[in-house]
């Protein structure tokens, strides 16, 4: 296989592309089979500056959205995370050209692409592969994609996605793990979502953008990544209004054109660093953020006794007193984000008093609690409600990340804990946090990534 054709596999290492690192990339995608872990010596106060990357949940929709046009698109501020690698790999496997222009800029061209099937093995590795359904349907009026994978957060149906596709005129069929969509003719339509769903809203937008006539999505999700997808599509020539409100209007256009677009900063990565700063009693300037997107997190942190100073595109988080209890209920945007719930619950184990955390989006988002208990947390869970007795301290332990944000919570716990924490199953974390070890070390964290068969916990931290 010619080296040029391999490019594509898609990590930023591609700038120094060789056949060897192609296989390195493939290995990276198979991390589940490699025993890697993070080893953290806790108790260090974080201080300094940290840079936030582009948003995972925007990037994984923008990449398939490129399929909607026949010209190259350049995406900037692309995060270096495995969900992005997988999305780009799917594009490559389908026949698109993918090229890293620098560490965070990717040029993707779906020119002349004819393929409407997504390779099964890649698609089932992540939740966001469902965006290929909407994008392929929008381009070819047909799509064949496996049922998506993703974090185990309880029941994750896609009925609302299918409802939206049907409303636009598509027939949907699920057989042998594959979703098949086919439409004679995509027509704009009224789509009422029974539940507020980020994925279904974005998929409806992708499928409707080139359909004939007007589509109105009601009860739409309002997250910053919804607005980012609308802005991206509009920069390609789409006609979308109302993104960020609960009614989105899309007037179908015949064709879209290439564009250059910068992915919105990741508000969950930013929030994770904010909580890490607070949990270690630190003082950190978090850069490349949109403070408005962080408001639900900022306001809870202030309630807990953490100082947050907002600037144009950065926030400073610092602590000069004790942390105090609060209650949190997660909700769709602009409510408190479910993707920050495990991190914030971890912080509350360090606060004085009893806090109540209610999960309002996912059925099973307290699976990390058992791991936090190993570190001395006093948390009881009943269904969607967790009661946290703040003990003011955590101690290091060997733990496992059971999903992406659970992993982020364990990192925060490890940074704040006395002693050494060893976190396994970090491939979950690397799905959504790029260069995490480097970023945290820059602000003073003692964290290392080690391959467990060759390094014991103590060797790693003393090394
Ligand atoms: N739901 C349905 N039917 C559907 C779709 C969703 O009943 O067809 C329900 C879900 O079961 C859930 C609720 O609606 O109870 C919200 O689900 P949503 O569709 O909004 O979630 P998602 O699109 O699958 C995205 C993020 C998640 C994030 C949620 C909520 C991506 C790739 N994933 O998931 O991110 O938790 O929105 O904000 O954008 C993460 O980044 O760690 C993560 C899990």
State the average pLDDT over residues 310-315.
98
User: For the segment 24-63, what is each residue's pLDDT rounded down to a tens digit?
Assistant: 444 444 444 558 999 999 999 999 999 999 999 999 999 9
> In the structure encoding, which two tokens stand for residue 231, read together?
């802005």
Residues having CB closer than 6 A to ligand 1 are 57, 60, 127-128, 151, 155-161, 195, 197-200, 221, 338-339, 361-362, 404-405, 432
Specify the pLDDT at position 120: 82
278 pLDDT exceeds 50?
yes
- Tell me how far the alpha carbon of residue 296 is from its chain's centroid: 18
Euclidean distance between CA atoms 432 and 370, whole angstroms: 22
State the average pLDDT over residues 137-146.
95
Specify the pLDDT at position 172: 95
As annotated, the active-site residues are: 151
Measure 131 CA to ligand 1 centroid, in angstroms. 12
> In the structure encoding, which two tokens stand for residue 7, read together?
């490019």
Measured from the Cα of 160, ligand 1's closest atom is 8
In the three-class reduction of DSSP (H, G, I as helix; E, B as strand; rest coil), residue 285 is classed as strand
Cβ neighbours of 353 (radius 10 Å)? 12
Atom 18 (ligand 1): residue with closest C-alpha? 197
Measured from the Cα of 332, ligand 1's closest atom is 38
**Share above pLDDT 70 across residues of the chain, in percent, rounded to a whole number:** 89
> In the structure encoding, which two tokens stand for residue 373, read together?
């208990």
82 pLDDT exceeds 70?
yes
374 pLDDT exceeds 90?
yes
Euclidean distance between CA atoms 82 and 132, whole angstroms: 17
- The reported pTM is 0.91
Q: Are the CB atoms for 257 and 237 separated by under 8 Å?
A: yes
Specify the pLDDT at position 3: 34
**Share above pLDDT 90 across residues of the chain, in percent, rounded to a whole number:** 82
State the average pLDDT over residues 148-171.
86
User: Which of 290, 143, 130, 287 lies closest to 199, judged by CA?
Assistant: 130
Specify the pLDDT at position 448: 97
């Amino acid at each position: 296989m010619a080296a040029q054709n391999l490019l594509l596999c898609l990590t930023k290492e591609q700038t120094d592309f060789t056949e060897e690192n192609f296989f390195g990339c493939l290995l990276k995608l198979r991390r589940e089979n490699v025993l890697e872990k993070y080893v953290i010596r806790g108790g260090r106060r974080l201080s300094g500056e940290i840079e936030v990357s582009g948003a995972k949940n925007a990037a994984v929709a923008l990449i398939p959205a490129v399929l909607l046009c026949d010209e190259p698109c350049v995406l900037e501020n692309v995060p270096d995370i495995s969900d992005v690698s997988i999305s780009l790999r799917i594009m490559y496997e389908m026949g698109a050209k993918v090229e890293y222009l620098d560490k965070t800029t990717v040029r993707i061209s779906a020119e002349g692409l004819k393929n409407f099937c997504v390779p099964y093995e890649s698609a089932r590795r992540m939740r966001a592969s469902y965006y290929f359904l909407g994008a392929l349907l929008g381009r070819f009026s047909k799509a064949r994609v496996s049922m998506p994978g993703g974090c185990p957060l309880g029941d994750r149906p896609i009925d609302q996605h299918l409802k939206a596709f049907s409303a636009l005129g598509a027939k949907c069929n699920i057989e042998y793990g594959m979703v098949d969509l086919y439409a004679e003719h995509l027509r704009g339509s009224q789509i009422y979502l029974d539940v507020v769903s980020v994925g279904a809203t974005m998929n409806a937008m992708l499928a409707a953008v080139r359909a004939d006539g007007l589509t109105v999505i009601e009860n739409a999700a309002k997250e910053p990544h919804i607005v980012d997808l609308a802005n991206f599509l509009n920069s390609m020539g789409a006609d979308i209004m109302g993104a960020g409100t609960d009614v989105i209007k899309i007037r179908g256009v015949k064709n879209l054109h290439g564009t250059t677009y910068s992915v919105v900063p990741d508000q969950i990565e930013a929030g994770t660093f904010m909580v890490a700063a607070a949990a270690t009693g630190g003082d950190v300037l978090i850069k490349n953020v949109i403070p408005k997107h962080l408001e639900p997190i900022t306001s809870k942190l202030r309630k807990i006794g953490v100082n947050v100073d907002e600037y144009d595109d950065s926030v400073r988080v610092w602590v000069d007193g004790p942390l105090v209890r609060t209650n949190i209920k997660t909700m769709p945007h602009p409510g408190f984000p479910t993707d920050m719930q495990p991190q914030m619950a971890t912080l509350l184990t360090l606060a004085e008093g009893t806090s109540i955390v209610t999960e309002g989006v996912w059925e099973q988002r307290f699976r990390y609690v058992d791991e936090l208990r190993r570190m001395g947390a006093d948390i009881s869970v009943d269904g969607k409600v967790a009661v946290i007795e703040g003990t003011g301290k955590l101690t290091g332990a060997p733990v496992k990340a059971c999903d992406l944000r659970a992993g982020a919570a364990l990192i925060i716990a490890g940074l704040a804990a006395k002693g050494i924490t060893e976190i396994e199953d970090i491939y979950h974390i690397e799905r959504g946090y790029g260069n995490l070890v480097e970023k945290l070390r820059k602000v003073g964290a003692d964290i290392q990534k080690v391959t467990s068969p060759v390094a014991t916990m103590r060797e790693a931290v003393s090394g």
